Amino acid sequence: MIWALIGILLGVIFGLAIDIPIPLELTRYTAVVSIGILDALFGAIRAEVTKDRYNAIIFISGLFFNVVLAIAITYLGDKLGLDLYLAATVVFTFRIFSNVGITRRAILENFLQKRKQKRAF
């Protein structure tokens, strides 16, 4: 897990340091792919914190599926003349907030449980 966080931090630093222009036609794709990646990442963090069955294969397949689905929905919307990328953005964002809320609650419960155990001694 720590390696994933280090990789993300390095990716953000390099992304901010290197100025790569994105063509205007691809900004919707970039946005939905980024949010799809964040959804998979926060899902993995939630699984790790809540002691669910975290599995790297499931994470990688979820990441890949999110990216492909986001691109497909955006492409379909472009072909139909609809802003379907907004639907993908809303759903991924909802899932991100849900995973962050579950993670926050699990961390807080673990903290309170440890604090309670310290007081018992």
pLDDT for position 108 = 93
Torsion of CA 84, 90, 91, 95, to 10 degrees: 160
pTM across the whole model: 0.79
Taking only the tens of pLDDT, the chain with its 121 residues reads: 677 778 878 988 988 898 888 898 888 999 999 899 889 888 888 888 888 777 788 888 988 998 999 999 999 999 999 988 899 899 999 999 999 999 999 999 989 988 888 887 6
Which residue in 96, 109, 89 sits closest to 29, CA to CA?
89
pLDDT for position 93 = 93
